[in-house]
Amino acid sequence: MSDEELVRWLDEDERRAWINLAKVLLTLPGALESQLLRDADLTLLGYMILARLSASPGRSLQMSEIAKMANGSLPRISHAVARMEDRGWVKREVCTGQGRRFTTATLTEAGLTHLAASAPGHVETVRRLVIDPLGEDFLRLGDAVERIVETLGVPTEVLKPR
């Protein structure tokens, strides 16, 4: 049997669904980021980092944990955190322990204040672009997408505001 015969091609409904999902994956992050840049001078990655720090014990995380959460490289995350550190929203500290050296990022009071001011506009945009159009399907979509997240091996912790 050839490789061509082993491929499980998408049928018309699957292809339509896949193309629409790909459109969302490619355009939604830009739409969310446009609002955040305009209203809060924050990238989507920056917002997600601040939100994750706000939900962490002591509002601190090791940089490697932030990189895992954001599915980004440590240099990319370091650059994003450095920009927020320059604005006074985050402070970084080099720590040593258990025979190793690591850097932690901590959300400052100014960062928490900025996140709190940014959150209403971001949430409104998420509601307008995602939740409201889906209505009661939104929670089912969340359950379905969680299976993809698990398949990808991405941590599934839920951000809980503090």
pLDDT score of 160: 46
Domain-wise residue ranges, the chain: 11-152
CATH architecture type of domain 11-152: Orthogonal Bundle (1.10)
pTM: 0.85
In angstroms, the CA 90 to CA 140 distance is: 35
pLDDT score of 15: 97
pLDDT in tens, the chain (162 residues): 666 678 999 999 999 999 999 999 999 999 999 999 999 999 999 999 999 999 999 999 999 899 988 887 888 999 999 999 999 999 999 988 777 888 999 999 999 999 999 999 999 999 999 999 999 999 999 999 999 988 988 766 654 444
> What digits encode the pLDDT tens for the residues 38-71?
999 999 999 999 999 999 999 999 998 999 888 8
Percent of the chain residues past pLDDT 90, beyond the cut: 77
